[in-house]
């Protein structure tokens, strides 16, 4: 389905709201995750899964959902945001996060919920739904990331440099030329090394690369996030950890291979055509495996959920699922 959102008056986010309840859930000997609920305490549950991994949540993430209808659940994944310990890689993998999401569902006495995720959040949403389809009412997915080898090579090794050659230079800069044949591995050595100054330099360079390329038009304010030491350390270390471990999946293309487990669930896929971080090929491959899913290729957007045309489609999808 081709989006015509640019021809319409675009739906914006709902007004800002504050949580009515927050808490911390101990999910392992090492990790405690932050969670919050906002909106209607007796409403329809929806869980928001943030990107990265390592990105954490923000107040604006509550605003995709009608607060009069939804019980809006946000959580910071292991090592991210307000969860502790920050930037920790120990016991931090995809299937542990899947387990955490379901532990939180039980903790909040929720039977089934709508699952909303973009970028890495789409990866986690698909992983969770395929593991626990009985606990999912439907899915809203944005900026599809299947964590395949080709996707990682595109953004972190070669392809995207052809579109952002100037910004790519800053991403390459911390890595000696002799190690540039495998940039993820080179970054991983430094992000997990003992030289704290080098670790922070690499964390900021890695984070800046993604922040600078995530919108159709470069957003200087978004790039500033990469200058925050704590955020950059969590974002870069956890992302690189997941990527060097191939997402902790048994095979390349694992999530496509298991789509049959969730085909009965309603799903809306929203993809920016000019998404450089998670190129449209992945969303298209998912759509081909899942023809029943509603698909929107947004013609005037990149990767970010905060781009107006993508925001509009996501809010519309959440509004549609009010009747689910």
Mean pLDDT over 162-188 rounds to: 97
- Which pLDDT belongs to residue 5? 41
pLDDT digits (tens, 9 = 90+) for 105-130: 999 999 999 999 999 999 999 999 99
Neighbours of 299 (CB within 10 A): 15
- Banded model confidence at residue 3, pLDDT cuts 50, 70, 90: very low
By percentage, how much of the chain surpasses pLDDT 90? 96
pLDDT digits (tens, 9 = 90+) for 220-264: 999 999 999 999 999 999 999 999 999 999 999 999 999 999 999
- Which pLDDT belongs to residue 8? 55
Rounded CA gap, 174 and 206, in Å?
A: 9
- Which pLDDT belongs to residue 324? 86
Three-class secondary structure assignment of 22-58: EEEEECCCCCEEEEEEEECCCCEEEEEECCCCCCCCC
Q: Which residues are catalytic?
A: 119, 275, 303
Q: Where are the domains of the chain?
A: 5-148+248-323, 152-247
Position 2 pLDDT exceeds 60: no
Domain 5-148+248-323 has CATH 3.40.50.1820: yes
Q: What are the start-end ranges of the H helices in 136-244?
A: 149-156, 165-172, 183-191, 196-213, 220-223, 229-244
Mean pLDDT over 90-104 rounds to: 98
């Amino acid at each position: 389905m081709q989006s015509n959102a640019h021809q319409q008056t675009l739906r914006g986010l709902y007004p800002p709201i504050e949580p009515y309840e927050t808490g911390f859930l101990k999910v392992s000997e090492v990790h405690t995750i932050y969670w919050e609920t906002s909106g209607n305490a007796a409403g329809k549950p929806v869980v928001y899964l943030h990107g990265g991994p390592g990105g954490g949540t923000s107040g604006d993430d509550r605003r995709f959902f009608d607060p009069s209808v939804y019980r809006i659940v946000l959580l910071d994944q292991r090592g991210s945001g307000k969860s502790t310990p920050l930037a920790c890689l120990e016991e931090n993998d995809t299937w542990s996060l899947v387990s955490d999401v379901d532990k939180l569902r039980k903790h909040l006495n929720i039977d089934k919920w709508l699952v909303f995720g973009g970028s890495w959040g789409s990866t986690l949403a698909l992983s969770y739904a395929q593991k626990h389809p009985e606990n999912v009412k439907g899915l809203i997915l944005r900026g599809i990331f299947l964590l395949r080898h080709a996707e990682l090579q595109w953004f972190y090794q070669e392809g995207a440099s052809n579109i952002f050659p100037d910004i790519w230079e800053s991403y390459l800069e911390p890595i000696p030329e002799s190690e540039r044949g495998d940039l993820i591995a080179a970054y991983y050595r430094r992000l997990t090394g003992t030289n704290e100054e080098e670790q922070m330099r690499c964390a900021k360079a890695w984070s800046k690369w993604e922040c600078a390329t995530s919108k159709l038009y470069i957003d200087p304010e978004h790039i500033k996030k990469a200058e925050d030491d704590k955020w950059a350390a969590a974002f870069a270390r956890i992302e690189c950890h997941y990527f060097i471990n191939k997402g902790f999946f048994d095979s390349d293309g694992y999530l496509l291979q298991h789509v049959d487990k969730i085909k009965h669930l309603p799903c809306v896929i929203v993809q920016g055509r000019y998404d450089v971080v998670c190129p449209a090929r992945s969303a298209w491959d998912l759509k081909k495996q899942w023809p029943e899913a509603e698909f929107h290729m947004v013609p005037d957007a990149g990767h970010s959920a905060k781009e107006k045309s993508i925001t509009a489609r996501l809010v519309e999808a959440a509004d549609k699922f009010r009747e689910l």
